[in-house]
Amino acid sequence: MNHEQLTPILERAEALCRERGVRLTVQRKAVLRLLCLSDRPLSAYELLEQMRDVVRNPAPPTVYRALDFLLEQGLVHKLESLHAYVGCAHPDHAHASQFLICDDCGEVAEVEDASVARSLNAAGKAIGFRTRRPVVELLGTCAQCAAKRD
C-alpha cells in the first residue's frame, strides 16, 4: 500500500475509534501505519524494531497492547500460521476474512467471501462450536510465483 492509500485508511480508523468511544493513540496509530505500509505481514518483534524509528524507547508490551487493541477494533488481522499481523483492507464493517498466503514470496491477499464464512459458521454451529475469531488461511503459491516456476 502506498501513502495515498494509507491516508483514508488511517482517517477511517480514527473515525471508527471515535464512534466507538476508544482512543487511537500515537503508538496504536504508528503500529497500524507500519502494518498498512508493509508489503508483507509483520511479527510483533519486527514491529518493535520498526517502531524504534517512530517512538522513543518502545517496549514489547507497548507493541502487544497496541496489537491487541487493533485486533479488538478490527483494524488488523493476525495470521496464526505466520505469527504475524496485517492491516485490514476494510475495517469499516465486521467480517470473517480469508487469507491466501504464498509460501514462496510471502504475499498475502485478504478476501472476504461471505459464502465461505456462512459455511464454516454452519459447520461450527452443527457441532456446538463457538467461534472466537473466524480466520481462514490458505497456504499455497501466488500467480506470480507459479508463473516463475512454469
SS3 content of the chain, % helix, strand, coil (to 5): 45, 15, 35
When pLDDT is cut at 50, 70 and 90, the band that residue 77 belongs to is: very high
Bridge partner residues of 31 (DSSP)? none
Question: Which strands make up the sheet holding 108-111, listed edge to edge?
Answer: 108-111, 98-102, 136-140
How far apart are the C-alpha atoms of 98 and 135, rounded to whole Å?
A: 6
C-alpha cell at 118: 456462512
Mean pLDDT of the chain: 90
Tell me the residue type at 15: A
The phi, psi pair for 84, rounded to 5°, reads -140, 170
Counting residues of the chain whose pLDDT is more than 90, the rounded percentage is 68
The predicted-structure confidence for 58-67, as pLDDT tens digits, reads as follows: 888 989 999 9
Determine the Cα–Cα distance for residues 103 and 109; give it in Å rounded to an integer.
Answer: 12
Q: For the chain, which domains are there?
A: 3-87 (1.10.10.10), 98-149 (3.30.1490.190)
Cα Rg for the chain, rounded, in angstroms?
Answer: 16
> Quick one: pLDDT at residue 150?
82
The pLDDT tens digits for 28-42 are 999 999 999 998 999
Average pLDDT over residues 140-146: 95
* Mean pLDDT on 65-90: 92
Alpha-carbon distance 111 to 129, whole Å?
24
Residue 46 clears pLDDT 80, i.e. is over it:
yes
What SS3 string covers 61-87?
HHHHHHHHHHHHCCCEEEECCCCEEEE
For 108-120, the pLDDT digits (tens) are: 998 889 899 899 9
